[in-house]
Amino acid sequence: MPTKRISSGFFLALLLLAFLGCKKDEVTPGFDMIYQQEFSIPPGVGPFVTHHFYLKNLFTRYEALLMQAGKTDAEIVGILPVQAAIEGVFGDANFNIVEEAILRIYQENDPNGYIEVAYRFPTPIDPSNRLDLIPSLADAKRIMSEDRFSIDLLLRLIYDLRFTIYDLRFTIYDLRLAGFAVARGNMEIA
């Protein structure tokens, strides 16, 4: 009986050492993709309807960012949203008119193949010139590894702007996506 306990204990220790010696692939940040684009809400838009604001054919700068970071496309395992916000251009915006905000990216030739990269629902009711959006966990590499992409910003408004006589100007401020690379490890068995 003691021999079985020693041999099974020795086998478990050997198995544990074998698995501890294997190093998994480590995912490390590769580069940041930062975009800022202006848009305006025209006067006369009504409440309780989702309004789409399209920003089309923007350059991704993917190849240039790869070269700058010294990475290849094969090393990038994903591009994930990190941060997004909408901010008033002149500092006088008030985002308590927005009930819900969704930020999507897509390819111009496939508008139905969008990826939702950030959202905010419900939005804060405090008046503010900046609306921070919550990044999603979606991998955007399929779209952001191409030369161009487009943005669809969906805003559902609470208040009636039909009597507004001026454009409300905003910036999609600091849309930040991060490309993650894999540092390949070697498998070592002790």
pLDDT tens digits, 144-160: 999 999 999 999 988 76
pTM: 0.77
Neighbour-count burial for 98-122, b at 16+ CB within 10 Å, e otherwise: bbebbbbbbbeeeeeebbbbbbbee
pLDDT tens digits, 108-119: 999 999 999 999
Q: How is the chain split into domains, by residue range?
A: 25-183
Q: What is the distance of C-alpha 144 from the center of its chain?
A: 10
Beta bridge partners of 34: 176
Whole-number Å distance between alpha carbons of 97 and 155: 10
Q: Are strands 26-41 and 98-107 parallel, antiparallel or unpaired?
A: unpaired
Class of domain 25-183: mainly beta
- Tell me the one-letter amino acid at 144: M
Task: Please list, in sequence order, all residues whose beta carbon lies within 8 angstroms of the beta carbon of residue 128, skipping any fewer than 6 positions away.
Answer: 94, 95, 96
pLDDT band for position 125 (cuts 50, 70, 90): confident
